[in-house]
Structure 1
Amino acid sequence: MTIPVEYQRATDHFHQFLSDVRDEASLDTVNQAYTMTQGVLQAFRRRLEIGEAIRFSNVLPADIRALFVADWDLEEPKRQFEDRAAMTKEVQSLRPLHNYAPESSIRDVAKALRHNVDESALNRVLETLPEGARQFWQA
C-alpha cells in the first residue's frame, strides 16, 4: 500500500494554508500566521467535548489536524461559545509578545481553512457540533 497523498504532501499543503492565512490577515510572515492559527484552533477546541473535537478534526488535512490537537490540556474546563470579540481576545492571548492576530483573526483563519478543506464535509460536521460552532467558522 502506498502512503496517502495527504501525508506525502503535508508540508507543502501546510505551507500553502499558512500562506493563505497570512494573506487573509495581511500579516508579514507565515510564522505570524502559525501563531494566529494555533490560537484560533485552540479557542475553538476549548468549546468542544473530545468526541466533537475528533469529528471536527477528521475533516481537517493531516497538518492542520496535528496543530488542532497539539498541546491539548485535557484538564482545561470546557468553555461556551461567546461573541467573536471575546474569543478573538482569547486568540490574541496566546504568546502575546509574538502574536500579531488582528481583530479579524477568526474570520481570516476560517476563510483560509475553507479554501483548504472539503467545505461540504466541514459544513456537515459543524452541523453536529454545539451551537456557535458554525458561526465560529463563518468566513
Structure 2
Amino acid sequence: MPVPSEYGRASAKFYDYLVDARDTANLWSTHVTYTMTQSVFQVFRRRLSTEEGIAFANALPICLRALFITDWNINEEKKKFESREAMTKEVRMLRANHNFSTDTAIQDVAQALRRHIDELHFDKLLSELPKGAADFWKP
C-alpha cells in the first residue's frame, strides 16, 4: 500500500495552515503563529480527558495532530471551560516573553483551523466533548 497522501503532503499542508492562521490573525510571522496555535491547543486540551484529547487530535491534519499532543502532561489537573477572555490570558502564558498571540487568538486559530479540516466531522466530535468545547472552537 502506498504512503497515504496525508503523510506525504503533511509539511506543505501544515505550512498552508500556518500562513492562513498568520493572515487571519494579522501576524507577521509563521513562527509567531506556531506559538499561538500551540498555546491555543494547550489551553483547549487542559479541559479534556486523555481519551477526549486523542479523539480531538484525530480530527486534525497530521502535523497539527502532532502539535496538539506534543509535551502533553496527561497528569495535569483538568480545568473547566471559562470565558474566552480568561482562556486568552492563559494562551499568552506559553513562552510569555515571546508570545505575541492576539486578543482574538482562540477565534483566529478556530477560523483558520476550520478551513483545513472536515467541519462536519469536527462539529460532530465537538458535540460529544464536554460542555464548552464547541463554544471554544466557534469562529
TM-score bracket for the superposition, by shorter chain length: over 0.9
TM-score, length of structure 1 as denominator length? 0.99
Alpha-carbon distance between aligned partners in 1 of 2:58 and 2:68, rounded to the nearest angstrom: 11
Cα displacement (A) at 1:22: 0.4
Q: What's the counterpart of residue 88 of structure 1?
A: 88
Q: Note the alpha carbon deviations across 1:32-91, whole angstroms, 9 max, x for none.
A: 000000000000000000111111111111010000000001221000000000000000
Name the SS of the counterpart of 1:116 in structure 2.
coil
Structure 1 segment 104-115 matched on structure 2, within 5 A: 104-115=104-115
Q: Share of identical aligned residues, percent?
A: 49
Q: What's the counterpart of residue 12 of structure 1?
A: 12
Cα displacement (A) at 1:125: 0.2
Name the SS of the counterpart of 2:128 in structure 1.
coil
Alpha-carbon distance between aligned partners in 2 of 1:124 and 1:116, rounded to the nearest angstrom: 16
Alpha-carbon distance between aligned partners in 1 of 2:5 and 2:120, rounded to the nearest angstrom: 20
Cα displacement (A) at 1:92: 0.6
Q: What's the counterpart of residue 51 of structure 1?
A: 51
Cα displacement (A) at 1:130: 0.3
Q: Note the alpha carbon deviations across 1:9-34, whole angstroms, 9 max, x for none.
A: 00000000011110111000000000
TM-score, length of structure 2 as denominator length? 0.99
Q: What's the counterpart of residue 70 of structure 2?
A: 70
CA RMSD of aligned residues (A): 0.5
Q: Return 5+ residue gaps in structure 2 as ranges.
A: none
Cα displacement (A) at 1:94: 0.5
Q: What's the counterpart of residue 61 of structure 1?
A: 61
Q: Does 1:33 pair with 2:54?
A: no
Q: Note the alpha carbon deviations across 1:74-119, whole angstroms, 9 max, x for none.
A: 2210000000000000001100111110110000000000000000
